[in-house]
Chains A and B, each alone.
Chain A
Amino acid sequence: AQSVTQLGSHVSVSEGALVLLRCNYSSSVPPYLFWYVQYPNQGLQLLLKYTSAATLVKGINGFEAEFKKSETSFHLTKPSAHMSDAAEYFCAVSESGDSSYKLIFGSGTRLLVRP
C-alpha cells in the first residue's frame, strides 16, 4: 500500500533562510508525486509535480523538489524564505498505473517564517 511520511509537523525558519520540507513515500510502482500549499481556510494549491520526467522539478513561487528513487524521497526546497511562504505544505503520491488518480496525502508540515 502507498503511504507518505512528512517529517516534522512544524518547521520554523528565518526570513531569507533555506526552506527544506521532507517527504518520503512508499509505492510498489513508479509514483507520481506532488507538493501542495494551503493557506488558512483555503483550498490546496499545486506547487509542483513529478511524473517520471526530470528528477529535479521546479514549481511556483521559487520552490523545487528532487525525486530520489534510491531514498524514496521527494523533499521540497526554496533557497530563501519569504514571510508569504508561511503556510501548510502537503506531499502526496499516486500510482502511475492507477487510472483513478487517487492521491495519498502526508499529514502536512506547517512552515513558520520568522522576521
Chain B
Amino acid sequence: DGGITQSPKYLFRKEGQNVTLSCEQNLNHDAMYWYRQDPGQGLRLIYYSQIVNDFQKGDIAEGYSVSREKKESFPLTVTSAQKNPTAFYLCASSGLVGEQFFGPGTRLTVL
C-alpha cells in the first residue's frame, strides 16, 4: 500500500536535547512538508521541500532543521533552540494538484 509513515508515534525529549522525527513516503511525490499542530489550533508549516537536496522555511522554522537526501525521506530535527516543542507533528507529501496526504503524526513531549 502507498502511503506516508512517521516514527515514532510518541517521543519524549529532555531539556537541551535534539530529537529527530522520521517521515517516509512511497507515493513518488516530489514535495514534502512538516507541520506543527497545537491544541485548538490549525496546522502551521515548519519546512517544506519541493525536490531532493532543496528545502525552504515555512512560517515557524526557528528551532527546527530538516534534510532531503532522498525523495522518499524528509526527517525533521527539533533542536534545543526550540523552547516550546511539545506538540503534534505531521508530515505530508503533495499530489498532482496540490492535495496533501498526511502521515499518522508524532506526538512530542518535553519532560
Contact = CB atoms under 8 A, between A and B. Distances in A.
B102 A43 contact: yes
Contacts of A9: 40
A46 B99 contact: yes
Contacts of A101: 31, 94, 98, 100
B42 interface: yes
Interface size class of B (residues with CB under 8 A): 20 to 34
Contact of B41 (A36, A42, A51, A107): A107
Interface in A92-115: 94, 98-103, 105-108
Contacts of A45: 102
- The listed residue with most B CB atoms (<10 A of its CB), out of A9, A49, A94, A102, is A102
Interface of B: 4, 6, 31, 33, 40-43, 45, 48, 50, 56, 58, 88, 90, 92, 94, 97-105, 107
Interface of A: 4, 9, 32, 34, 36, 41-46, 49, 51, 90, 94, 98-103, 105-108
Given A43-B104, A90-B42, A105-B42, 8 more contacts: A32-B99, A43-B90, A44-B43, A44-B100, A46-B100, A102-B33, A102-B48, A108-B41
